[in-house]
Homo-oligomer: A and B are copies of this chain.
Amino acid sequence: MTTVEPRLEPGDVLVDPAPRVSDPEAGRRSRKKQRTRDDLIAAGDYLFATQGFDATTTTDIAERADVSQRTLFRHFPTKESLLYGDLDDTRLQLRESLASRPADEPILVSVRESMLSLAEDFERHRDRRLLQARLAASSPAVSAYSRAVVQFSWEREIIAAVAARLGVDPLKDPRPEVVAGAAMSAVRIAMRQWTVSGGTLDFMTLNAAALESIASLSDLG
């Protein structure tokens, strides 16, 4: 599994200057835990960006975050999950966006609008999403994880929402999954176009254009 690793230009932003808010409600213990978690993500982002995903060792990352490798794996189940540490946030945001659409709205419109809320997420975490996309383009392991874990988790949210709206069982009626599959393909195209543009193009616009094509599918007869 040989891999071409990315070489970032010196000007590129490497890490999200994350807010590091650390809910002041919680005690010192959970704050410290959150702190090491943040440190690990930052260390991973930096090393992945500078050396590439495959060339970076989990031991490297742990050392840079000044913790043991064992601690890294207590916070993240896999090396890939370290790169997509905010997966759950994005997924839940998508879920809420889907749930908040009016019930009388056409389903394709609901899906489209919700996917656009995902675009907002991309612009809010621009650097990180670009890094993830670039690493996915250069490392098969990351690419596979993105498809099989990240995107799949989004797809499930769409399937559940569409099935609920239609009032059908998604294991029997194929439409929820087919809609979700089409929508995910649209998002992938938008992501790819956005990535090759280096994040300069407007993700929202790209995503909207791709999603438009779903409704016109039947023209292909």
A residues contacting B by CB (< 8 A) are 1, 77-78, 106-109, 143-145, 147-149, 152, 171-175, 177-182, 184-186, 188-190, 192-193, 196, 209-210, 213-218, 220-221
Contact = CB atoms under 8 A, between A and B. Distances in A.
Contacts of A193: 171-172
19 contacts: A1-B77, A106-B220, A108-B220, A144-B144, A144-B149, A147-B147, A147-B148, A148-B148, A174-B189, A174-B190, A175-B213, A175-B217, A178-B213, A179-B220, A180-B185, A181-B184, A181-B185, A182-B185, A218-B218
A217 B182 contact: yes
A10 to B, nearest CB: 28
Nearest to A219: B218
A77 B2 CA distance: 11
A215 B214 CA distance: 10
A217 B217 contact: yes
Secondary structure class of chain A's binding surface, majority of residues: helix
A217 B148 contact: no
B108 A213 contact: no
A143 B145 CA distance: 11
Contacts of A192: 171
A22 to B, nearest CB: 29
Contacts of A196: 171
A123 to B, nearest CB: 20
Nearest to A146: B148
A108 B221 contact: yes
B178 A182 contact: yes
B221 A106 contact: yes
Contacts of A182: 178, 181-182, 185, 217
A37 to B, nearest CB: 20
A143 B177 CA distance: 17
A152 B184 CA distance: 13
Of A77, A145, A180, A214, the most chain B CB neighbours within 10 A belong to A214
Contacts of A149: 144
Query: Which A-B residue pairs are the 9 nearest by beta carbons?
Result: A181-B185, A106-B221, A144-B148, A174-B210, A107-B220, A182-B182, A181-B181, A147-B148, A148-B148
